[in-house]
Structure formats: structure tokens, C-alpha cells
Amino acid sequence: MIDLTHASSIGPLITNDETVVRLPADLQSLLLDANGFVIFDGGLHVRGICDAPNWHSLERFWIGEYALWRLYPTVRPDDVPFAQDFLGDQFLLRRGRVIHLDGEIGSIDEVGLGLNEFLESAFTNPDDCR
């Protein structure tokens, strides 16, 4: 469990159990503990499974109208856009590994970490979570 005592926002209750079961196990576990959150004064936003607010909805950016794979040719439909940083760059899960998507130019880079390692790294050094 992540220490969210300094989170500026924690997501509402999960609204769609069908989406939960489609997620990788580590992301399922995280969202069942806290359905997304905003930390580091907006520096990192982990999306949750909810209808509102729409900016927090993982489904909206994964399978909905604003799905990132519809907007960026480098993103695949099975990439899970679980987070974004304060610059609008996106973090995706692809086959259990975190991918960094540059929101401005659409290029992707492998971060080289799984979800839990990525979050641990972000909490240890929030200025360099890529």
C-alpha cells in the first residue's frame, strides 16, 4: 500500500467492476486500495475507474472517446494509460512494463520498470519518475 497522506486528491469509489477485471493484477490491486490519486502538488496523477470527474477516468483515456490509442499512433489499444505527469506526458502499462509517452510529440520510451517499481521510484525521487 502506498502512503497517500499527502495526496491532494484520492479518487471516488470504483464504478465499473468489468473494467477492474481487465486490468493487470498490480494495477487492480493498487486501484482497489485507492482508486487513483494526485500527488506531489499535481506532479503525478494516477487515474481511477470512475464516471466522474472525467479527468480522473482511466476508461475515458483507455477505451473511451479520448482513448490515447486513437490520438497517438505509437499507442496500442491494449496499452493502459494509468497516469500522467504535470506536463501532460502519459504513463502506460504495456505487457507489465511502464512506457513513457511524450504528450507533445507522441514518442514513447520504455521506463524499464514494472508498475510497483515505477511508483516506488516516483515516491523516492518525484523529480525524475521517467
pTM of the model: 0.91
Is there a domain that residue 61 lies in? yes
Query: Which cell is 102 given?
Result: 511524450
Write the DSSP string, 51-104.
Answer: SSSGGGBHHHHHTSTT-HHHH-TT--TT-EEEEEETTS-EEEEETTEEEEE-TT
Is there a domain that residue 2 lies in? no
Is there a domain that residue 107 lies in? yes
CA distance 64 to 76: 14
- Please state the rounded mean pLDDT for residues 83-106: 95
Is there a domain that residue 1 lies in? no
Is there a domain that residue 123 lies in? yes
**Tens digits of per-residue pLDDT, 39-59?**
888 889 999 999 899 999 999
Query: Is residue 12 very low, low, confident or very high in pLDDT (cuts 50, 70, 90)?
Result: confident
Range of the domain at 31: 9-128
Is there a domain that residue 72 lies in? yes
Is there a domain that residue 3 lies in? no
Is there a domain that residue 29 lies in? yes
Number of domains in the chain: 1
Predicted pLDDT at 48: 95
Query: Is residue 129 very low, low, confident or very high in pLDDT (cuts 50, 70, 90)?
Result: low
